[in-house]
């Protein structure tokens, strides 16, 4: 499927490509690997040959169209893009006549959490969107693995005013978002306590955690020893009520999930009015800013994304099923170089 020896003049002759497609919202069974027309870049777009993309929790939401609200962004009553995929790394193989920032041969990566049609051999993206050059020494798989989790972690952390030496507890620190949050916080000099399971204790320490808790052996919400400036529930398995006692008087609770009865939507208002310990429910935005920030961290080697598994495009259903299980460690990649011919 992926032939690294094909040069750009030969790529111009290719009219069809392999892509993951779907016609309706649903589970992984609606996905098929098909031959579809290769996209043609507009004047301000790049044509990218995708090497890697991920299957992430945002992709799972876009696949199922749940929560329903997501469909206002991804298409009503059916998906507006038949090809899923929100992130990519690959090489520029064509540019529109108005493109200035990129050239054929550039190694690039990027993200659009509303959909990018990147689960395909080729994709197009406007040069003004969240796309950047992959720093020297960073591989294609490392670049793509820092996109989605890194974007949310960066956005969520930025909602809290933190200083060097402040203390943050990250629950679900082994997830895509949690493992990115842990490393971003460490790069800012924050003391981080990370919660994960038995098999990942060593990984969490390697990522820089100052303290680790094994949720299979102890309940971090019952601990007394530290008071935190922020508890970041990056897996949505806890609640403000349970974590409140761990927080300093003006401490912040953030969750990546809506919480029981969608309480994380209204608790921010109630706790703001009341004063003291507060809940913040961040709405992530501006992928472009995230990509620029993450690129700098990647270049400085302050963020090394965690890769769990690679799947070939033919295994796309299994990849989605695994990600839907919510038990991945870091990121799950689709490797378009996997079936190199
Ligand atoms: N708000 C938003 O805009 C937004 C966007 C994307 C994702 N999300 C949500 O954010 C959450 C995290 O996303 P993600 O991509 O990072 O997910 P993920 O990679 O599936 O992360 C979940 C991690 O938490 C661990 N875990 C499971 N049960 C746990 C527990 N009881 N305590 C502590 N850790 C536990 C899992 O590993 P083990 O099972 O091996 O322990 C896994 O590594 C998901 O719930 C997702 O739906 C929200």
Q: How confident is the model at residue 8, as a pLDDT?
A: 67
Closest-CA residue to 98 (of 19, 43, 50): 43
**In angstroms, how far is the first alpha carbon of the chain from the final one?**
6
Atom from ligand 1 closest to the CA of residue 284 = 3
The pLDDT tens digits of the residues spanning 257-267 come to: 999 999 999 99
State the distance from the centre of ligand 1 to the C-alpha of 104, rounded, in angstroms.
37
Domains of the chain with CATH codes: 8-148+287-335 (3.90.180.10), 160-280 (3.40.50.720)
Which tokens is 135 given? 């720093």
Q: Is 28 in the pocket of ligand 1 (CB under 6 A)?
A: no
pLDDT of residue 173: 98
Burial 270-304 (b: 16+ CB within 10 A, else e): ebeeeeebbbbbbebeebbebbebbbebbeeeebb
Closest atom, ligand 1, to C-alpha of 200: 40
**Across 66-71, average pLDDT:** 90
Which atom of ligand 1 lies at the shortest distance from residue 174's CA?
A: 43
**What average pLDDT does the structure give for the chain?**
95
Looking at ligand 1, which residue's alpha carbon is closest to its atom 35? 172
- The token pair at 43 is 């004047």
The finding on whether 152 has its CB within 6 A of some atom of ligand 1 is yes
Question: Counting Cβ atoms within 10 Å, is residue 260 exposed (0-12), middle (13-18) or buried (19+)?
Answer: exposed
Strand-pair category, 87-95 with 45-55: antiparallel
pLDDT, tens digit, for every residue of 10-29?
777 889 999 999 999 999 99
Question: Quick check: 314 pLDDT over 90?
Answer: yes
Plot region of 28 (φ>0 → left; ψ -120 to 50 → alpha; else → beta): alpha
pLDDT band at 2 (very low <50, low <70, confident <90, very high): low
- Whose Cα sits closest to atom 4 in ligand 1? 256
pLDDT at 4: 60
Q: Of ligand 1's atoms, which has the minimum distance to the CA of residue 171?
A: 33
Residues of the chain with pLDDT > 70, as a percent, come to: 97
Mutate to test the pocket of ligand 1, among 66, 172, 283, 325 (most ligand atoms within 8 A of CB): 172
197 lines ligand 1 (CB under 6 A): yes
Q: Whose CA is nearest to atom 15 of ligand 1?
A: 176
Nearest partner of 157 among 259, 232, 228, judged by Cα: 232
Whole-number Å distance between alpha carbons of 167 and 185: 9
**What is the spatial distance between Cα 232 and Cα 25, in angstroms, rounded to a whole number?**
31
Share of the chain above pLDDT 90, in %: 91
Task: Quick: pLDDT tens for 121-144.
Answer: 999 999 999 999 999 999 999 999
Do 303 and 294 form a contact (C-beta atoms < 8 A)?
yes
Question: Per-residue pLDDT tens for 147-198?
Answer: 999 999 999 999 999 999 999 999 999 999 999 999 999 999 999 999 999 9
Report whether pLDDT(339) > 70: no
Where residue 35 falls among pLDDT bands split at 50, 70, 90? very high
**Residue 228 parent element (H or E):** strand 228-233
Residue 341 has a pLDDT of 45
pLDDT surpassing 50 at residue 340: no
């Amino acid at each position: 499927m992926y032939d690294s020896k094909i040069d750009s003049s030969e790529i111009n002759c290719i009219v069809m490509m392999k892509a993951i497609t779907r016609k309706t919202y649903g589970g992984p069974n609606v996905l098929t690997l098909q031959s579809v027309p290769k996209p043609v870049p507009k004047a301000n777009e790049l044509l990218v040959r995708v090497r890697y993309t991920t299957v992430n929790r945002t992709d799972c939401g876009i696949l199922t169209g749940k929560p329903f609200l997501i469909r206002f962004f991804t298409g009503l009553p059916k998906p507006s893009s038949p090809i899923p995929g929100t992130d990519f790394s690959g090489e520029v193989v064509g540019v529109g006549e108005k493109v200035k920032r990129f050239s054929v041969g550039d190694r690039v990566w990027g993200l659009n959490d509303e959909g990018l049609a990147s689960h395909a051999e080729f994709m197009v993206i406007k040069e003004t969107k969240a796309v950047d050059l992959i720093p020297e020494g960073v591989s294609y798989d490392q670049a793509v693995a820092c996109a989605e989790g890194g974007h949310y972690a960066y956005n969520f952390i930025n909602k809290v005013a933190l200083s060097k030496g402040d203390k943050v507890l990250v629950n679900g620190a082994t997830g895509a978002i949690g493992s990115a949050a842990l490393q971003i916080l460490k790069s800012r000099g924050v003391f981080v306590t990370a919660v994960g399971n038995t098999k990942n204790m060593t990984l969490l320490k390697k990522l820089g955690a100052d303290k680790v808790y094994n949720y299979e052996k102890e309940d971090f919400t019952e601990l007394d020893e530290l008071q935190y400036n922020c508890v970041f529930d990056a897996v949505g398995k806890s609640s403000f009520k349970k974590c409140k006692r761990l927080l300093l008087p003006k401490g912040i609770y953030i969750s990546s999930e809506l919480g029981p009865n969608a309480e994380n939507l209204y608790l921010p208002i109630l706790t703001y009015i009341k004063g003291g310990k507060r809940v913040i429910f961040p709405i992530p935005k501006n992928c472009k800013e995230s990509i620029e920030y993450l690129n700098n961290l990647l270049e400085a080697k302050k963020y090394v994304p965690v890769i769990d598994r690679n799947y070939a495009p033919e295994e796309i259903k299994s990849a989605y099923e695994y990600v839907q299980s919510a038990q991945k460690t870091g990121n799950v990649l689709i490797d378009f170089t996997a079936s190199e011919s």
